Every structure is written in structure tokens, then in C-alpha cells.
Chain A
């Protein structure tokens, strides 16, 4: 962000900093007027004014947490900014963008979410590693490279997925046609040719929007906390009594390993 040619970088003060908008691609400015924002620990890089940052467990915030924070095991990663002034958010020089939800829902990879307004409710998605925001308000998220919005039907590399809005049907898609048939068998036996690395995607159909980041480099995952061990809860670990993996035939060197077993070949 540069001003007039030869004028050097723009110098901001508390008055000229944008209100709830991007300062540049990598920094976002939030204005607090006696209001509150949730933010992930360590994402605040500077602030003007009077502000307090309290852990989510703080007594005064009990009511707020009760209404808009539904990820109890995740609480230690979040703080509430409270007061008045302007606050700058950034994350390791990743691209930062804000999104407005209007009585909507959006699910996002937990590591990518930086901050959100308490008018939104944060919940754990039933897809492990993702968080869902429901309600009306603004949130700020980071991505590696600009975010690209796509409409379903689409299949997405798991690492390139940032999140999705309104799509009711995220599911797994396995494409492994090249592993079948005689040549495929030969390939699987010997490991010759290797794997394409694209055997598995997330598939989205129906109406909605899918958010992609332009790179497969993941941001450090934020633990969303384990889901309770209950039967019928995906990712809970317990309760699954499927066929045990046969540890049977020893694998020859060079074989594709896990892939064949996963596809039942």
C-alpha cells in the first residue's frame, strides 16, 4: 500500500485506519466501540485505544461465551477483545479477508479462522478439523494466496479446501481407476509408476459456495478439541466395530501400501 508516487508508504493513525476493513492484503483492522470480538490467540499484532484481552474462561464473559462459543475444548485457543479502539490482525503474512454472513452458515478449516463477531455462533463442524459459524456478522479468515469461490458440483483436494457455505453434502470421493485392471494390478504390485496423489477428494454437490485456497500448503491446524465419545458421532473414535484390518500377507517393497487396502484392491 503506497500513497502518491515518491510519497513513500502511507502512514496510518487511529483516525485514518480503516474501520472493519483490510489495511492491506495481509492485515485487517477491527474497530471496537465498547463491543467485543473473538480472536484466536496471537493474531493481534497491534492496537490503539483501551482494550482488554481475556481468555474465554474469564468470569465476566460467561454469558457471551454461553451464547456464541460452542466449542468448549477449543476455548484455550481463543480470547475476547473488549474495549474501544482499533486493533490490527494478521497471521504469518498469509492473505487475510473478511466475510459477511447474513443469517447464514459457513464452515471453515479451524486453522484459517482468525476472528469473529460475537453475533455469530461458533460451533464445531461434524467434519473433524472444521468449525462452523452460524448467524449474522463478520469474521476474518486467512488463506495461503487469495481465496477462490467456486460453485458445486466440484471435487476439491483436501488440502486446498478452506471452507464451504450452504453446501449440505461434503463427502469423500475416491478416483483410482488407474489402479484397476491388469495394468493397475501390476502397478499396485510393483509400485512402478507410483500414485498420482489425487485419489481422494472432497466432493460437493447442491447449492452453495466452496472456498478454495490457491495452494496445498496447509496452515497449522488448530485443535478443535475431540468430540465426545458417543456412538454415532463421527470422528469420536469409539463405537466403530468394522471388520478388523487383516494384517495378513506381508507387503513387498515398493508396493503402494495403504492405498490399495483403502480401495479394497
Chain B
């Protein structure tokens, strides 16, 4: 097995190598071109796991149409002119919105997380502000993921003692042992409509990496 499944060709396109016996998942319709003998099968369950996982994803509204990519060859992925960031996971968990997933390796375990499980009611509020909703998708294991973002992506390391604040709309994904909470800086100015527009910030602390896009536009 090669160490990197996705190779960035340019800021908006990745190339993936598909080998027999290995499987990739990708968003439907995101294939740009391929060489070799590769098949694209729409995935009824919208990802891994059994029927229960599928139902879970449907309820959680994290059921992005996925297809499984199998065969022998190379495939180019890209979608909607969005910038693409490849994230390599080495055993930790990536938290990302399902519709930002361009493609990921079949070795990763896909799950759904309830936002309220991290910080209770404030977690749910956080989900609303970041546009994640009440649930978000998790990918865990060893493998790589191609994530889409509007505008270029930069990664900001999070180390103990150095808390990172991110605009909720510019937040893309994070991985590692990270705790996040929504910090509000609401003052009387916001109440009279003269706020700075930065009343809500995502505060991430712990040990890991957060990915931020250079735009406040959602996908």
C-alpha cells in the first residue's frame, strides 16, 4: 500500500491511486477523469457501516451521497471549483461536515457525532452557529481524506496553552485531542445593531490541528 492515497495536482484537484482490494469513497459526481479500469458504484448506505449507520446518518442529516470507487487505476477528483485540502490521519479522529468530504480512503471508519455530546446545550448552539447542525461526521483511523473548502485552506496547530479562535463560518475541520467551545463576545453594541460582526468565535484548545478556509462563505 502506498503511504499517500491522494496527491494534490493543484489547489483544486487531487489524484488518487486505486488498487485492487482497496476501496475509496467519494462524493457522487466528483470524479473528473480516470485512467485504467475503475468502477463507480453509488453507495446506498451513504458510507460505511450497516443499515443502522445509514439510518443514523439520515436522521442526523449527514447523509451526503457517496459512491464507492474500486478497481485498478488513477482517478482525479475535484468538485465545484472548490479548493481541496488533503488531510492525513494517523489514528486520530477528524471532525468534518459530510458535505465537505470530497473523497476518503476506505480504511477510515466513518461515524456520526452528536454536537451536544461535546459541551451539552452550548455544543448544540455551536453547531447552529458554525452551520454544522446538531450532528457532524467523524472519520477515524489511518488514511487520508480530501476535504473541500471555499477559498484556500490553512492549518493552524493547536498546542496546550495556545488556544485558537476561529470564525465559525471559516471553520472547516479539525482533528486531534481538541476541545472546542463557542465563545461569545456579545455586548450592548450587538444589541443595538452596532456589533463588530465577530460576536461568535469558536475557541479550540488541546492538542491537534484546525483547518480554516480563507472565506466566510459556506459550501
B13 touches A145 (CB 8 A): yes
Instruction: Decide if A154 is an interface residue (CB 8 Å cutoff).
Output: yes
Chain A residues lying within 8 Å of B76, measured Cβ to Cβ, are 148, 160, 212
Residue B34, interface by CB 8 Å? yes
Known: A157-B32, A157-B33, A194-B28. A215 touches B44 (CB 8 A): no
Tell me whether B29 and A198 are in contact (CB under 8 A).
yes
Given contacts A178-B39, A194-B28, contact A212 B80 (CB under 8 A): no
Contact B10 A198 (CB under 8 A): no
Report yes or no: B44 in contact with A148, Cβ–Cβ below 8 A.
no
**In the complex, are the beta carbons of A214 and B81 less than 8 A apart?**
yes
Interface centre among B9, B32, B67 (most CB of A within 10 A): B32
Residue count of chain A within 8 Å CB distance of chain B: 29
Docked CA distance A84–B147 (Å): 47
Q: How many residues of B contact A (CB 8 A)?
A: 27
In this complex, the member of A144, A193, A214 whose beta carbon has the largest number of chain B beta carbons within 10 angstroms is: A214
B32 / chain A contacts, CB cutoff of 8 Å: 156-157, 160, 212, 214-216
Contacting pair A150 B80 (CB below 8 A)? no
Contact flags (1/0) for B5-28 with A, using CB distance below 8 Å? Answer: 000011111000000000000001
Chain A facing B: main interface SS: loop
Q: Which of B62-96 contact A (CB under 8 A)?
A: 65, 67, 76, 78-82
B42 contacts A193, C-beta separation under 8 Å: yes
- A215 and B67 in contact, given A145-B12, A148-B9, A160-B32 (Cβ under 8 angstroms): no
Give Cα A175 to B29, complex, Å: 13
Q: Is the CB of A193 within 8 A of B43?
A: yes
Instruction: Give how many A-B residue pairs fall within 8 Å (CB-CB).
Output: 98
Q: Contact: B41 with A196, CB < 8 Å?
A: yes
Does any Cβ of B come within 8 Å of A171's Cβ?
no
Which residues from A are CB-within-8-Å of B65? 194
Check if A146 is an interface residue, CB within 8 A of chain B.
yes
Complex CA distance for A153 and B10, rounded to whole angstroms: 21
A195 within 8 A of B: yes
Minimum Cβ distance to chain A for residue B31 (Å): 5
Write the nearest CB–CB distance from A247 to chain B, whole angstroms: 27
In the complex, whether B35 has a CB less than 8 A from a CB of chain A is yes
Q: Is A50 interfacial (CB-CB < 8 Å)?
A: no
Interface presence of B200 (CB below 8 A)? no
A195–B39 CB distance below 8 A: no
A217 within 8 A of B: yes
Interface residues of A in 179-207 (CB under 8 A from B): 187, 192-198, 201
- Whether a CB of chain B sits under 8 angstroms from the CB of A155 is yes
Can you name the residue of chain A whose Cβ is closest to the Cβ of B35?
A154
Query: A215 contacts B42, CB within 8 Å?
Result: no
In the bound complex, do residue B29 and residue A215 qualify as a contact, i.e. CB atoms below 8 Å apart? no
Q: Which of B129-169 contact A (CB under 8 A)?
A: none
**Closest residue of chain B to A151, judged by CB?**
B35
Q: Distance in Å from the Cβ of A78 to the closest Cβ of chain B?
A: 26
Q: Which residue of B lies closest to A199 (CB)?
A: B40
Instruction: Decide: A178 and B33 in contact? CB cutoff 8 A.
Output: no
A214 touches B42 (CB 8 A): no
Chain A residues whose CB sits within 8 angstroms of the CB of B9 once the complex forms: 148, 214
Residues of chain A whose beta carbon lies under 8 Å from any beta carbon of chain B: 144-146, 148, 150, 153-157, 160, 175, 177-178, 187, 192-198, 201, 210, 212, 214-217
Query: Which residues does B use to contact A, with CB under 8 Å?
Result: 9-13, 28-35, 39-44, 65, 67, 76, 78-82
Ordered by A's residue number, 25 sampled pairs between the chains whose C-beta atoms are within 8 Å are A145-B13, A145-B78, A148-B9, A148-B76, A150-B35, A153-B35, A154-B35, A155-B33, A157-B33, A160-B78, A175-B40, A187-B44, A194-B28, A195-B28, A195-B42, A196-B67, A197-B28, A198-B31, A210-B33, A212-B32, A214-B11, A214-B32, A216-B30, A216-B78, A216-B80
